Structure 1
């Protein structure tokens, strides 16, 4: 999927949904979910402000949209892709319903980093009113996703 916002290989990306799961992130970046330990050192907890995360009806993944509530915040991880190939894999995984968007991420030590995230550009009617639950995805759906993607690899 072509993206309008350019990223260098060392520009971080903020993830707030399915890619917070290390095995799925490892599958996207390395083609192998068993390499989850390899991606743990490439992520840090972070928060973005001025956005809300929503559950999407009939989907296991969330949408991120801008919010008029300046106190709105979304927790996730800031990830440091190692190559432009990894960026392409992330873009391909996210698909056409998302747009790579610049954001500022506050990390645990209070510092802030410029990064990108994927903001929903799909149908607003597809969004539920409630937040998406990472805990539910991780315990109830992640294994199904890993089985579905097992043996497949994103090309970067």
Structure 2
């Protein structure tokens, strides 16, 4: 039996930034910090953003955005592109609750594009974010 569609999204890279998420989703959304166990986050070669892949002892901290509309999902799917596939994952909130939410996982056929460098939010905020926003001109074109 298929899982019901999620209205929440776990983000772990550039979309953790509220302003970038609002540009991509087309609306500001309520957000909650969460952790995703069993994955690791690596920088994509030549880019400012990461991909995540399954890793038995891995842990990725990120943000869950709540109440995503079908129109916002369409925009997000276009933004993420071919290297990512949306799939359900189980996240844990700070209060210990777990939830099934969607997440954009790095597709196996593109893992050769990942570096061995763990992606770091603070490094992204201190330089990578500006570069990313200047390089990516498609925010307004994803409608």
TM-score range for the pair, normalised by the shorter chain length: 0.7 to 0.9
Measure, in 1, the Cα distance between the counterparts of 2:38 and 2:103.
13
Q: Does 1:60 align with 2:56?
A: no
- Answer whether contact 1:81 1:87 (CA < 8 A) is retained: no
Q: Does 1:123 align with 2:110?
A: yes
Measure, in 2, the Cα distance between the counterparts of 1:56 and 1:95.
14
TM-score (norm 1): 0.80
Q: Does 1:12 align with 2:12?
A: no
| Structure 1 equivalent of residue 61 of structure 2 | 75
Measure, in 2, the Cα distance between the counterparts of 1:6 and 1:26.
25
2:26 to 27, 30, 38: 30
Q: Which runs of 5+ in 2 are unaligned?
A: none
Q: Which runs of 5+ in 1 are unaligned?
A: 32-37
Tell me: CA distance 1:151–1:63, structure 2 relative to 1, closer, same or farther (3 Å). Answer: closer
Q: What do you get for the CA RMSD once the two structures are aligned?
A: 2.1
Q: Does 1:97 align with 2:95?
A: no
Provide the secondary structure at the position in 2 that maps to 1:130: strand
Tell me: CA distance 1:151–1:64, structure 2 relative to 1, closer, same or farther (3 Å). Answer: closer
| Structure 1 equivalent of residue 124 of structure 2 | 137
Provide the secondary structure at the position in 1 that maps to 2:140: coil
Aligned length, in residue pairs: 139
TM-score (norm 2): 0.86
